[in-house]
Amino acid sequence: MPLILISGYPSSGKTYRSNQLVEYFKTKIEASSDARINRLTVCHINDQSLGLSRDVYREARTEKDARATEYSAVKRALGKDTIIIADGLNYIKGFRYQLYCEAKAVQTPNCVVHVGTPIQNCEEINARLLENKEEDGGYAKDLFDNLVYRYEEPNGMTRWDSPLFTVPYEDEKPPLGDIWEAMIGSEGKVKIVKPNQATVMKPATESDYLYELDKTSQEILNVILDWQKDHPGEGGGELTVTEGTIELPANPVSLPQLQRIRRQFISLNRQHNLPNSRIRSSFIEYLNYNLG
């Protein structure tokens, strides 16, 4: 059942909003007369439930491990009778895209709830948490500033951040009813994601599809590698290719890094059967998310 991703600045009140969602969903389930809704359970996943400290975000390696832990927990929990509320920073758009793909693979709805607390308010809340030395604590000032700087705000125009529900700081509650309707549906009509070209396996063409996935992604990597070979030491800028533009980072990208991104893309999409016409543009999008 639905995957609800919570995203926001550090100390923006994500867990507070998540608890509001958990309480509302549980109340709706208990009050329902629909047997299918009564079977639903709510799973709240966050850093605390996973045993992760604030300091995991201080280094790239430990942060990567933390994201992998959350990713695995969400993937294990995805099922027809579970509503998942993934309450974490979820500030990297490429990570949100990965979780979006997992939800689509099991044909379940998903949305993003953006806790829209202004930075100034987040700073005040974080300072208060540090001063009071509360159990879950706040973020060290340098870490807080770094996470705010790196935050990639959800964009409702992209399919992996849609539908997007933004919760202003002043609002007493999130739009609980709207989120329920978008994720579960009306009484007696549980919402499901209908199979389509991106989520249904086509066994008769599976080998051809995997071949195209492998060949097309490698062709794009070769374009990047050839460009870097012809422009040694250069980085940054845009590299125009068929069906898209690759946004190159300031520093040259290594072959192992490119191959890792390519393997992740193939792993995420091997069960999805993207139309062949979408493989190239989808991989370009995925590259830009992970190289940015």
pLDDT at 6 over 80: yes
CA dihedral 33, 36, 38, 40 (to 10 degrees): -150
| CB of 189 closer than 8 Å to CB of 104 | no
- The closest alpha carbon to 289, from 120, 112, 127, 158, belongs to 158
Residue 178 corresponds to which amino acid?
A: D
pLDDT at 207 over 80: no
If you write DSSP's letter for every residue of 117-149 in order, what string do you get? --HHHHHHHHHHHHHHT-SS----HHHHHHHHH
The pLDDT tens digits for 94-138 are 889 889 988 888 888 999 999 999 999 999 999 999 888 665 678
| CB of 180 closer than 8 Å to CB of 28 | yes
3-state helix/strand/coil string of 199-265: CCCCHHHHHHHHHHHHHHHHHHHHHHHHHHHHCCCCCCCEEEECCEEEECCCCCCCHHHHHHHHHHH
pTM exceeds 0.75, yes or no: no
Instruction: Give percent above pLDDT 90 in the chain.
Output: 41
The pLDDT tens digits for 153-198 are 999 888 889 999 999 999 999 999 999 999 998 654 555 555 444 4
- The closest alpha carbon to 250, from 234, 261, 227, 226, belongs to 234
| CB of 147 closer than 8 Å to CB of 38 | no
| CB of 57 closer than 8 Å to CB of 89 | yes
- Can you tell me which residue has the tokens 């549906």? 185
- Torsional class of 11: left (φ above 0), alpha (ψ -120 to 50), beta (otherwise): left
Separation CA 66–CA 8 (nearest Å): 17
Tokens linked to 194: 């209908």
pLDDT at 54 over 50: yes
pLDDT in the model for residue 134: 60
CA 272-278-204 angle, to 5 degrees, is 45
pLDDT in the model for residue 136: 64
- The closest alpha carbon to 112, from 96, 131, 136, belongs to 96
Report all structural domains of the chain as residue ranges with CATH numbers, in order of start.
3-183 (3.40.50.300), 203-291 (no CATH)
pLDDT in the model for residue 197: 44
Separation CA 12–CA 115 (nearest Å): 7
pLDDT in the model for residue 74: 93
- Torsional class of 128: left (φ above 0), alpha (ψ -120 to 50), beta (otherwise): alpha
